[in-house]
Amino acid sequence: MNNNDNQNRTLPETHPRYQSLKYRHKIIEGMKKLVVAEAGLIAHGRGECFDYILGENTNDPAKKAIKAAVAMLLLAKKPVISVNGNTAALVPKELVRLSNAINAPIEINLFYQKKGRIEAIKKVLVDAGAKDILGIDKDKMVTLDNLESNRRFVDVAGIYQGDCIFVPLEDGDRSEALKKIGKKVIAVDLNPISRTAIWADITIVDNIVRALPEMIKITEELKKTEKDQLYEIMDGFNNQKNIQDVLDLIKDYIDEQKEDAFKTLQT
Ligand code: PTJ
């Protein structure tokens, strides 16, 4: 029995938590192939927890943030999509689709450097259809001085020159560092009060597995939009207010669950 058969047996599609378990398995498989860092499993679990108390759907503030983010990416001169292990394991095809739709290169940028990881992530992205991947050629890497983690190593043709950096799902020090050197930062983070979320210009508080397909859809719509309208969408967005709205939704959801969570016991 191969690994997939084994997984299908232990993961019946009728399971009430099928979707969530499916993505868990992607992360576990990614870790076995070096795509995902060991700490990526813990990061995923933290994300799941926030997703749970957000009702596991793309809420209105997330939709607003996605629209503003797409407008910002379309207006940028040199947008770049930064990819880490978790995103490569969860949504490789969607990353490539978004990259093509907004004409932004993909750059692999890792917090946990380990021999073989970049090659493993590159393979996943190439298999998903990526053509040009940045962040893999040591001769083309430069260092961001204001950052101490491994994320400081960036591609001269990518994040180093980029004006708008999309940083889905990551640890906290980089969005602050990128902001301080004048970049626009767009984050996807299920934790609305993480450092990444707070420092980003636009924070999409949603699961990356739902946010990326929505971003691709909105890109197709907004591509036909005039520039001044894109500016209107981008400038009309207030990240602080949007994060506060998300926090209100979490409060409301938890209040509803005080009653609703026990209804299944009566059926
Ligand atoms: O692949 P590497 O080496 O670059 O490492 C990537 C991880 C994610 C391990 C690294 O950046 C890390 O340790 O991140 P943190 O500090 O755990 O932060 C990850 C954030 O992403 C947390 O705020 C989580 O809530 C959030 N998160 C986790 N899964 C998802 C998510 N946000 C959106 N969608 C998810 N599926």
pLDDT tens-place string over residues 32-82: 999 999 999 999 999 999 999 999 999 999 999 999 999 999 999 999 999
Residue 222: pLDDT above 60? Answer: yes
Smallest CA separation from ligand 1 atom 34, residue: 207
Residue 17: pLDDT above 90? Answer: no
Q: What is the Å distance from ligand 1's center to 68 Cα?
A: 22
Band (1; pLDDT cuts 50, 70, 90): very low
**Which pLDDT does position 80 carry in this prediction?**
98
Residue by residue, DSSP assigns the chain as --HHHHHHHHS-TTSTTHHHHHHHHHHHHHHHTTSS-HHHHHHHHHHHHHHHTTTSS--HHHHHHHHHHHHHHHH-SSEEEEE-HHHHHH-HHHHHHHHHHHT--EEE--SS--TTHHHHHHHHHHHTT---EES--GGGEEE-TT--SGGGEEETTTTTT-SEEEEES--THHHHHHHHTT-EEEEE-S-TTSHHHHHSSEEE-S-HHHHHHHHHHHHHHHTTS-HHHHHHHHHT--HHHHHHHHHHHHHHHHHHHHHHTTGGGG-
Residue 10: pLDDT above 90? Answer: no
Whole-prediction pTM:
0.94
**Which pLDDT does position 172 carry in this prediction?**
80
Give the CA-trace dihedral at 173, 175, 180, 183, to 10 degrees. 150
**Which pLDDT does position 263 carry in this prediction?**
85
Smallest CA-to-CA distance from 205 within 50, 45, 71, 79 is with 50
Smallest CA-to-CA distance from 66 within 188, 178, 176 is with 188
Looking from the CA of residue 207, the nearest atom of ligand 1 is 34
Q: What is the Å distance from ligand 1's center to 8 Cα?
A: 26
**Which pLDDT does position 2 carry in this prediction?**
53
- By most ligand atoms within 8 Å of CB, the mutation choice from 52, 170, 194, 199 for ligand 1 is 170
Contact residues of ligand 1, CB 6 A cut-off:
37, 39-40, 43-44, 46-47, 50, 84-86, 110-112, 169-171, 188-191, 194, 207-209
Looking from the CA of residue 169, the nearest atom of ligand 1 is 21
